[in-house]
Amino acid sequence: MSLEQLETLAERREDDLCDIGSTSSEEVERMQMATMCSQEYAQLYANYISQAGQIDKAPATTAIPEATPIDELDAEELLLQTLSERQKLAEVGKLVGMARYALEGHDTNLLQDTKRRIERLARSLPEKYRGTEIARAATAPNERGAKLAELYLSRAYKLLDEEYAEIPGIENAIRELKEE
């Protein structure tokens, strides 16, 4: 269920939908707990809808899709939709560190899971941040990969902070590392 669908559903049911604003990267665990609670509520609501037949006899101004089964709800995707670009980049940075740790410890399961999470976050970021390259560099099994990931992240933050004068130097460093 997308954010737009949630907004439509809340409006239709005359419920409140809370915008909790931006959250720090330390609050991700609490957001995940809130997401799990929301999933439980969504399942209860889906059960209610299936038993009640329909929401309301009154004509709707906006078509509401059929209730999504809880198995199809993606809590991680909903959480990603609520994060700002800065929060997404901070999460990518943490995951880069986790990937490097997994590589050093030869933990292939952790590495695969971390790679999947980085790639998912990368897809939610605008292309200008080069999320795909960050993911590729973070999971490269050499020191050059670690340096490239660091440079790509630095470049992404410079773009985010609109520090454009710093970017050519970072781009040159990336190019040099790639040519090695």
Give per-residue pLDDT as tens, 46-62: 777 777 655 455 455 55
The reported pLDDT for the residue numbered 26 is 62
The residue with tokens 């999470």 is 117
Q: Are 142 and 180 in contact (CB under 8 A)?
A: no
The DSSP annotation for the chain comes to: --HHHHHHHHHHTT----------GGGHHHHHHHHHHHHHHHHHHHHHHHHHS-S-SSPPSS--PPPPPGGG--HHHHHHHHS-HHHHHHHHHHHHHHHHHHHHTT-HHHHHHHHHHHHHHHHHS-GGG-HHHHHHHHT-SSHHHHHHHHHHHHHHHHHHTT-GGGHHHHHHHHHHHHH-
The reported pLDDT for the residue numbered 23 is 65
Q: Tens of pLDDT along 31-43?
A: 777 777 777 777 7
Beta-carbon contacts of 17 under 8 Å, excluding residues fewer than 6 positions away, are 6, 7, 10
pLDDT classification of 135: cutoffs 50, 70, 90: very high
The reported pLDDT for the residue numbered 155 is 95
41 class by beta-carbon count within 10 Å (0-12 exposed, 13-18 middle, 19+ buried): exposed
The reported pLDDT for the residue numbered 154 is 94
pLDDT at 73 over 60: no
Average pLDDT over residues 103-122: 91
Mean pLDDT for the chain overall: 81
Query: Is the full-model pTM beyond 0.85?
Result: no
Q: At what angle do helices 143-160 and 131-138 cross, to 10 degrees?
A: 150
pLDDT at 167 over 90: yes
The reported pLDDT for the residue numbered 45 is 72
